[in-house]
Amino acid sequence: MFGVLMITLLLTISLVGSNMDTILKQGIIYQVRAEITENTSIVQGFNDPEEFEKFVQQKIDERIKTLGLDTPWYSPQRLGYTMYKILILDFGNATFLISDSGSSNVGEIIFEKMPKTILLFTTATIIISIIGIVLGAASSNKIGSKIDRMTSTFAVISSSFPVWWVGMLMIFVFAFVYQIFPARATPNIASDDPGYFLALLYHMTLPVITIVLIGFGAWAYLVRNFMVGIMQEDFITAKKTMGISKKKIVYSHALRNAAPPIVTILALSLSGSLGGAIITEAVFDWPGMGRLYFEAISVMDLPVIIGSTYILTVLFLVSIFIADLLYGYFDPRVRTSN
């Protein structure tokens, strides 16, 4: 897993590395020139502009060398150093973007946005999974019934609509035609206001509804399929012959046995939705990681891009890991003999 993380990092750095160097070098040139021209005594010491230019160039070269920018970004020391710094979560300073509190430290920016993304998507995923499990169990209870067919149809249809497009429609209908919810999901009040959290929740309603609307059909369908598989196992038949009511079998015995795959997929879909957050958050203007990422891309703020990609990958890997652990915990068959 660690290896995967390193490879991701390496890929990201190699994709943006050369751009980053050019930007850094330009920054240094600008900085050095500003420093020298501000100091009038140095400027006055030169009579010949050519000589002055030479001096400035020399200073720039010196600065580049001390920062180690004279070697290309793919040289082992620099690569190792960059990766080490990222590993200890030191992403440096952002080029353009700043956090709400005014800091330009990439780590601070990311950790300020992350809770909001987690809040939005965790809420949505929890609602989706509750609706999905109830609907899925209900439809597996009566295969071929009206509710079963409706769930399946809805699952297929809803999964082919892009979430962000439905988001646009929802904004159009509920924010402009019927003015129930705000169009922008970022609250207008300052983040240290006591009413901020409530405002955030109110602004969160529309995105949550959209994500749930698109997501729960597929979930219900998935749960239904797991349940159908389990309902055909021998122990269920045994329970049936014992005279336990079908409702009880479905909701307590079968559902418990369907738990391992369901929990695994829950963990995976949660982390998967983080990646999809980029477009969804851009549509709703939700102040989370996804929008940060989108903003960073549009102004080419490389430290932020590298940092967010890294964090996203870490989150993704951690959730795969947790999903694996949970699977083993819930399903005794997976446990190894030692």
- Please give the residue ranges that form the binding site for other proteins (CB under 8 A): 1, 3-4, 7-8, 11-12, 15-16, 19, 143, 156-157, 159-162, 164-166, 168-169, 171-172, 175-177, 183, 225, 228, 274-276, 278-279, 282-283, 293-294, 297-298, 300, 305, 308-309, 312-313, 316-317, 320
CA distance 82 to 217: 44
Type of residue numbered 186: T
Report, in Å, the least distance between residue 35 CB and other proteins. Answer: 31
Quote the DSSP letter at residue 160: T
For the record, the structure tokens of 269 come out as: 């879909």
Nearer to other proteins, 68 or 162 (CB): 162
Q: Which of 146, 110, 140, 136 is nearest to 288 (CA)?
A: 110
Could you give the 3-state DSSP secondary structure of residue 35?
helix
Nearer to other proteins, 212 or 312 (CB): 312
Nearer to other proteins, 177 or 190 (CB): 177
Euclidean distance between the first and the last CA atom of the chain, given in angstroms as a whole number: 23
Report, in Å, the least distance between residue 301 CB and other proteins. Answer: 11
Nearer to other proteins, 25 or 59 (CB): 25
Report, in Å, the least distance between residue 129 CB and other proteins. Answer: 21
Q: Indicate the angle between helix axes 255-284 and 289-299, nearest 10 degrees.
A: 40
Q: H helices within the chain, ranges in order?
A: 2-38, 40-44, 49-66, 76-87, 106-141, 146-159, 163-171, 196-231, 234-242, 246-248, 255-284, 289-299, 302-330
Nearer to other proteins, 56 or 310 (CB): 310
Report, in Å, the least distance between residue 150 CB and other proteins. Answer: 15
Nearer to other proteins, 60 or 304 (CB): 304
Q: Are 273 and 260 in contact (CB under 8 A)?
A: no
Q: Which of 114, 71, 82 is nearest to 293 (CA)?
A: 114
Q: Which of 85, 191, 33 is nearest to 93 (CA)?
A: 85
From the CB of residue 175, how many other CB atoms can be counted at a distance below 10 Å?
A: 16
Report, in Å, the least distance between residue 91 CB and other proteins. Answer: 15
Tokens 């209908």 belong to which residue?
173
Nearer to other proteins, 216 or 221 (CB): 221
Report, in Å, the least distance between residue 15 CB and other proteins. Answer: 5
Report, in Å, the least distance between residue 317 CB and other proteins. Answer: 6
Report, in Å, the least distance between residue 132 CB and other proteins. Answer: 18
Nearer to other proteins, 81 or 161 (CB): 161
